[in-house]
Amino acid sequence: MEIFTTGSNELDSLVGGFRPGNMILIVGHPGAGKTTLASKICYSNTLANKRCLYLTFYEDKDKLFYNMVRLGIRLDEAESRGLFKYIRLPVSSAEEIMDALTNIIAKNRYDVVVIDSINVALELYERKEGQRALLLNFFYQIAQLINGLLVAVAEIPFEKESLELGSIEFIADAVLYLKHRNVHGLLSRILEVRKLRGVPLSIAELPFSIVEGEGIKIYLHPRLERVLREGGLIRGTLEFTRQLLEPVRKGDVVYVSYPPTARTPIVAIPFIDLLVTNNFKGFFLSYRYSKDEILEAHIAALTRYTDLAREDAVKLLNGYLHIESLNPTNYSIPHLHAITIEFIEKINPDLVMFHGVEIFRCIADPQKYWTTLINEMLWLKNIGKLVVRFGSRVDPYWHKMNASLSEKIIDLRYRYEKGRVIPIIYSWGRGREPSIIEVNEEILAKLREEIRKLLPPTP
């Protein structure tokens, strides 16, 4: 049997696509993303050479095409390939709408028909339940008639909480309810699968976002049984890296913490080593500092603890680090998760570093945060990334949670001795005993000597 894509790989993997004869209902308030989802379903199916008809009473074609292009939904291209047809029907009587539709479908073969939205047609029969049922029945039969997919979009007015369009929810084979909520002033989008005939579903609410170049992007929580357990070993060049980190594998989460009162960048050195030694791409996402500040911190790590010249440090970092900064108070936790996934899919780094993770202690709802974090870490593990999370120890509970969710722990502390401050690094990892490294003169001398091995050979 032919299967129609839902427009999302994630949703396809969950529901197995739609089947010929299915009527799908997309419901939501204005701005929820109904038109975007309907267009995405259309466009994705035209990529499989299905023919789509987009019927509307209100949407302006140019506006629709323009908006969708920015979201990577190239209705214009589908149209020029002859696989997409846009028709705007006049708002007339229900009989005229049915006649017009029958004619259109009789003239051309379509596999997918979208009606965006059905409100207008159904509202013509506001007070006549029997007539409305007739129209509904007509819509329902379109799917059977074309032996394809009917996607009906229904809008819920702002002031209402549910559809009041008769029995349409009962007739539909699938009901996708798009919601957008204001969570502490931040936008958070959810796709709720209200109903799906013939598919057992355990997850009803799927977070999603509307992103440039992609349109609707749904986030599925990874399944634990699929998680990569044992990734390949990663080695550095420096003895310091060996002492602090090894053995370290792809898929590991390393938690690096320091006191909030002295956050020296010495703990960045092993990761710079891993990047350079393995020719890795590193993605560094800071929730606290600007891109420039982060770059400076990395330069400082190299120049302060070794006698590397600044220009050598810059040269060394060049090409290995992609730095981004996000102010986390601008986004809801699911949205931040969405942006992070976007970055990682685009950049495709080997090493992912998060900086300033302590900030969530004071801005996020803990349950939402830990749930999202656990899933984000599982997702990163699944795709074999080495993850490093840098944070201040601002709160014992959050520190312990961060530690317990990681395979490797690096705790930077300080000891005072004869007027000097000496870094002490506690290090533990799965598969080894904990150790404490005092960053004494001997270790620093070794570091100074070995760091040159990382520099590109001088011609």
Ligand X SMILES: Nc1ncnc2c1ncn2[C@@H]1O[C@H](COP(=O)(O)OP(=O)(O)O)[C@@H](O)[C@H]1O
Binding site for Mg ion (CB under 5 A): 35
Q: Could you tell which of ligand X, Mg ion, none binds residue 249, using a CB distance below 5 to 8 A set by kind?
A: none
Residue 212 binds: one of ligand X, Mg ion, none (C-beta under 5 to 8 A by kind)? ligand X
Kindly state the smallest distance separating residue 18's Cβ from ligand X, in Å. Answer: 19
The whole-angstrom separation of Cα 403 and Cα 395 is: 12
SS3 at position 454: helix
Least separation, in Å, of the C-beta of 68 and Mg ion? Answer: 11
CA-based torsion, 26, 29, 35, 41: positive or negative: negative
Strands 351-355 and 386-392: parallel
The CB-of-73 to ligand X minimum distance in angstroms stands at 10
Question: Given the structure tokens 């705790």, which residue do they identify?
Answer: 411
Smaller CB separation from ligand X, 67 or 243: 67
Shortest Å distance, C-beta 117 to Mg ion: 7
Shortest distance (Å) from residue 209 CB to ligand X? 8
Is there a cis peptide before residue 92, judged by omega within 30 degrees of 0?
A: no
* Closest C-alpha to 443, from 175, 146, 244: 244
Alpha helices (H) in 324-440, listed in sequence order? 333-347, 360-363, 366-382, 396-404
Q: CB count, 10 Å around CB of 261?
A: 8
Picked from Mg ion, ligand X, none, the partner binding residue 30 (CB below 5 to 8 A depending on kind) is ligand X
C-beta of 97 vs 118, nearer to Mg ion: 118
CB neighbour list of residue 231: distance below 8 Å, 6 or more residues apart: 249, 250, 251, 252, 384, 386
C-alpha gyration radius of the chain: 28
Q: For Mg ion, which is the closer residue by CB, 153 or 321?
A: 153
Which residues lie closer than 8 Å to 288 by C-beta, 6 or more apart?
A: 355, 356, 359
Write out the residues near ligand X by the rule CB under 6 A: 28, 30-36, 67, 70-71, 210-212
Residue with smaller CB distance to Mg ion, 68 or 353: 68
DSSP letter for 355, please: E
Nearer to Mg ion, 178 or 323 (CB): 178
Q: How far is the CB of 32 from ligand X (least distance, A)?
A: 4
- What residue 71 binds from Mg ion, ligand X, none (CB within 5 to 8 A, per partner kind)? ligand X
Query: What does 306 interact with, of Mg ion, ligand X, none (CB < 5 to 8 A by kind)?
Result: none
Name which of 6 and 119 has its Cβ closer to Mg ion.
119
Of these partners, ligand X, Mg ion, none, which one is at the site of residue 16 (CB under 5 to 8 Å by kind)? none
